[in-house]
A = this chain, B = another copy of it.
């Protein structure tokens, strides 16, 4: 068998595993969007069985043998650049998996499936106690995992929480994040104070009733204009909006709509479509290979936030969609377009992360970052979470949640053991601002957005980010695309300039 033939065999082997992973992803999508509640326990068993099988195949001797074979220098030099990247990515994943005992993995799969279900109920009833023991199990599993990671993979790390962040944003550390925090937090806090003295946009502009089915119509229109391909995707409704790739030709978005909150559904859709475009933009030759993944969650988030904030919350966007708005919601908007744009960008410290504006959002993340850091390092217990959460909210944003649904229960992540995930949202903002700086050297972005040539933006992101799949690590990619390592100054410059103008300062 030639090296090429063997490599094709290896790709088939990995594809087969991915097919099971995809089935598990559908089980999860369905659980969040469709599944009847009474089915949770059986679904946890189904999820567990399918994921366990994929796990066993991926961590098999056979896969290890393939990877060892292709990693040999004399073999590697017969492979293409992309093929070598596939080997590297798969090997990196396998190393992470191999160190986790099978029982711990199974425990995590089951606890996540069940935890997610319990969380939904707890959130609905705003009853943290209901979720407490499930969350405790999820935290314990994560701590155990982090200790194993440190011992086996990252012995040099100073903080076991770093090993969890590493899973979502390779190369990022608590130390680096603390440095970003030192720059970002005072500037944002100052900005909030400054804006309080500015001219507040007219909040009543969006305080109207918007028929939910018409909002869905608007969402479809906007996501299509962004370049989302409905032949290879669909939009649905769920408690927590998310994007999921079930297969390369089946990338689904969910949003939540409420009649009195147009912006939630609208920007939610723009955000998730940004994610979906990344997945739909992966090149065909990467499909079902280890490269058919975003290189990191931060980069993934940069795509959703680029669209949501830099495009969706820009004046040219509102100028462009105004005629559509007038057709779908006749007479809803009689105000000046600049005032509508300003109303969509109110800096208003609130309880809910996913409803937060661009100024306060990062503070929501920093709060979670600090809590997770303390939780994983055993400095606080699960029981203390609601009180600590509320205390930090008061400290950072000056507001205290009235109940846990508005506080510690608002996010889905912990219910699925995704500790270390949150920082990527903030990193996404920083990446996005830095990308914008580079993109605007190539064409006039506001002009393109206003005239409806959104595909220009999409094409740039596709060529520079999406089509790279996971060939490059996030720090490599940002350097390659923008010519510079991650620099939070771009975001700070952007957010200060934008909001001072909006508040007429």
Contacts and interface: CB of A to CB of B under 8 A. Distances in A.
A473 to B, nearest CB: 27
Given A36-B230, A230-B36, A232-B38, A20 B247 contact: no
A34 B234 CA distance: 8
Contact of A27 (B26, B37, B49, B234): B26
Contact of A53 (B38, B53, B233): B53
Interface string A220-235: 0000000001111110
Contacts of A34: 34, 234, 236
A50 to B, nearest CB: 5
A302 B250 CA distance: 37
B42 A249 contact: yes
**Residue picked from A19, A48, A234, most chain B C-beta under 10 Å:** A19
Interface in A33-78: 34-39, 41-43, 45-46, 48-50, 53
Copies in the complex: 2
17 contacts: A19-B48, A20-B49, A20-B53, A23-B24, A23-B50, A26-B26, A34-B234, A35-B234, A35-B250, A36-B230, A36-B231, A38-B231, A39-B232, A39-B250, A42-B247, A42-B249, A45-B247
Interface of A: 15-16, 19-20, 22-24, 26-27, 30, 34-39, 41-43, 45-46, 48-50, 53, 229-234, 236, 246-250, 252
A175 B231 CA distance: 47
Contact of A46 (B22, B37, B41): B22
A43 B252 CA distance: 14
Contacts of A250: 35-36, 38-39, 42-43
Contact of A30 (B15, B30, B46, B53): B30
A248 B34 CA distance: 16
B39 A249 contact: yes
